[in-house]
Amino acid sequence: MTDKIDKRALKQKYAEERDKRLRPDGKDQYIKLEGQLSYYLEDPYLPIVEREPKTDHVTVAFVGGGYAGLVTGARLVERGITDIRIIDKAGDFGGTWYWNRYPGAQCDTASMIYLPLLEETGYVPTEKYAHAPEILEHCQRIAKHYNLYRDTLFHTQVTEVRWDDDNARWHIRTNRGDDFTAQFLCMGTGPLHMPKLPGVPGIEDFEGHSFHTSRWDYDYTGGNPEGAPLEHLADKRVALIGTGATAVQCVPHLAAICDTFYVCQRTPSSVDQRANQPLDPDWFAEVATPGWQQRWMENFAINQTGGAVDVDLVDDGWTDITHRFHRNIAALPEADQSNPAKWAEAWENADMEKMEAIRARVDSVVEDTATAAKLKAWYNQLCKRPCFHDDYLEAFNQPSTTLLDTDGKGVERVTANGVVVAGVEYPVDCIIYGSGFEVGTERLSRTGFEVYGRDGLSLTDYWDAGMRSLHGLTVRNFPNAFFVQPSQAANLISNIPHNIVEAALSIATIVERALDTGSAQVEPALEAEDAWVELINSGAGLTLPNADCTPGYYNNEGQPIPEEAHSYAGYPQGAPAFFKFIHGWREAGSFEGLEFR
């Protein structure tokens, strides 16, 4: 099929579209939700309940009640470690799935591998891609199953954590007056959780109603996260700013009901088919032999990252490029099949074929040809978060809905009455910001608290020249602390829970060992940390998506990636290799690289 593509012309088009969108302020273009704008962060879902501050001691404190806290808590409880306190800004467990209740929210990675601990909790998801209420309920199910509600601090923002070397414990302070200690401290604060607003002047001048998609105001819109129509919008004019993965999921629900609906687009997403379907419990019972979920996660990781295995258990749009790539390789003369340049070409061809198909899909669904043209994405599929939806494009056929394409420039300004695009004001009653979350900003700006290790050393200072860790999990000078995040580890972005599941197993194994051996402290040896950082740095760094890509949070908004940021790359041999390595590390039982004292 690539024979039919004019590759030179296509690359030229990609470059032109990218250049339109490059801007010198990069990620600084966005507006932080602070000061007068901090009301955008308020919890619309649950009231804050008064309570007494905590001043006691616990064995394990975990900052974050999303998947990271839940799965780590579960693995600790399985080992008999039950004195666990989970702290979260939200009013309940769920993390991302607590906050993101916008209509149509659902997982984009198959439920079977995205919902953790299915085997352990005996739960069978209802759909291949479960909707948000079901995922939130599953989070609560895990918490109940493992008795993690017992000692939680919800609606609580950690303000500082500080290591006390004399007493070998962490001091944890919060905005609710808590000042307690913990022998072990885990942090899983989520990579994308601090909402941001677009860099558009006039946001504060708007006199209508507005909110961010991660704080959906159902009181205003009517409806509910379960999918009831947003009936209060039937006589409203609404503008949605942003066309990322969130917008793609909520647009059909808004298009179906609003009197007038404007979708303000700067860069179109690539929107492949979703093909969601109910999960047949009989089929599930057949596949769910012991250990199935781990096998499925591993199989997906290999398929998604370009590896070759006989079967693709999940088999969806995430792995399609890989299959096209392998087909392209197989079609090469045998002598070329191991030539790296040919591999790169085969990958490029696979991507171009995929994106041509996605663009053709726009034409096949969207009736208005001018609108269809504007909805086409001109970049490599993995330049931006790939999206999958069966009703998004269809929404642009609704008479209520108008695409306000900004030709890469973005909404110009917000006025008291509405939004301005290309010099024209569109009056609206409500603006919904689907403008995403802080990425690549200062760590403190995203987490809201500093981590002080031995001798008052701050994590910000320790990581000033780049991240340092052993396995992305433990850090020298920060004893008994664990960081649940994907960098310097698998860095598997297509299935974040897989990274978490592995980190949780490692934490539980290490904490159990420390407790069993009466060790007061555990941290990586300096040489081990040095060697790990060196190994990470020996890889290609943060290469994908590359500089040719259209700007977005995947590539530092198209600005050069600072040298130290490359230390946030993953294991050089890729995610499946990391998972294999860390499994072996745990199984060996020698805890190589760690010092127990």
Site for ligand NDP, rule CB under 6 A: 21, 106-108, 192, 198-200, 241-247, 249, 264, 266-267, 385, 406, 410-411, 434-437, 552-553
CA 404 to chain centre: 27
- DSSP letters along 440-485, please? SS-HHHHH--EEE-GGG-BHHHHTTTS---BTTTB-TTSTTEEE-S
Smallest gap, in angstroms, from Cβ of residue 338 to ligand NDP?
Answer: 34
List all residues 6 or more positions away from 367 whose beta carbon is below 8 Å from its beta carbon: 397
Smallest gap, in angstroms, from Cβ of residue 266 to ligand NDP?
Answer: 3
Smallest gap, in angstroms, from Cβ of residue 21 to ligand NDP?
Answer: 6
Smallest gap, in angstroms, from Cβ of residue 106 to ligand NDP?
Answer: 6
Smallest gap, in angstroms, from Cβ of residue 102 to ligand NDP?
Answer: 8
List all residues 6 or more positions away from 570 whose beta carbon is below 8 Å from its beta carbon: 486, 487, 488, 489, 490, 491, 492, 536, 539, 578
Smallest gap, in angstroms, from Cβ of residue 404 to ligand NDP?
Answer: 9
DSSP for residue 104: T
Smallest gap, in angstroms, from Cβ of residue 432 to ligand NDP?
Answer: 11
Q: Do 443 and 459 contact (CB within 8 A), yes or no?
A: yes
Cβ distance to ligand NDP smaller for residue 31 or 475:
31
Q: Do 202 and 413 contact (CB within 8 A), yes or no?
A: yes
Cβ distance to ligand NDP smaller for residue 84 or 113:
113
Q: Do 513 and 596 contact (CB within 8 A), yes or no?
A: yes
**Structure tokens, 504:** 């949780």
Cβ distance to ligand NDP smaller for residue 439 or 520:
439
Smallest gap, in angstroms, from Cβ of residue 593 to ligand NDP?
Answer: 31
Smallest gap, in angstroms, from Cβ of residue 95 to ligand NDP?
Answer: 12
Cβ distance to ligand NDP smaller for residue 31 or 484:
31
Q: Which residues face 523 on adjacent strands?
A: 595
Smallest gap, in angstroms, from Cβ of residue 196 to ligand NDP?
Answer: 8
Cβ distance to ligand NDP smaller for residue 60 or 501:
501
Cβ distance to ligand NDP smaller for residue 105 or 484:
105
From the list 452, 451, 487, the residue with the least C-alpha distance to 469 is 487
List all residues 6 or more positions away from 55 whose beta carbon is below 8 Å from its beta carbon: 178, 179, 180
Cβ distance to ligand NDP smaller for residue 115 or 411:
411
CA distance 108 to 153: 30
CA distance 251 to 257: 10
Smallest gap, in angstroms, from Cβ of residue 134 to ligand NDP?
Answer: 13
Cβ distance to ligand NDP smaller for residue 15 or 520:
15
CA distance 63 to 272: 36
Cβ distance to ligand NDP smaller for residue 383 or 594:
383
List all residues 6 or more positions away from 221 whose beta carbon is below 8 Å from its beta carbon: 103, 230, 232, 233, 430
Cβ distance to ligand NDP smaller for residue 434 or 486:
434
* Four-point Cα dihedral 215, 220, 221, 224, nearest 10: 60
Instruction: Write out 320-382 in H/E/C secondary structure.
Output: HHHHHHHHHHHCCCHHHCCCHHHHHHHHHHHHHHHHHHHHHHHHHHCCCHHHHHHCCCCCCHH
Cβ distance to ligand NDP smaller for residue 246 or 506:
246
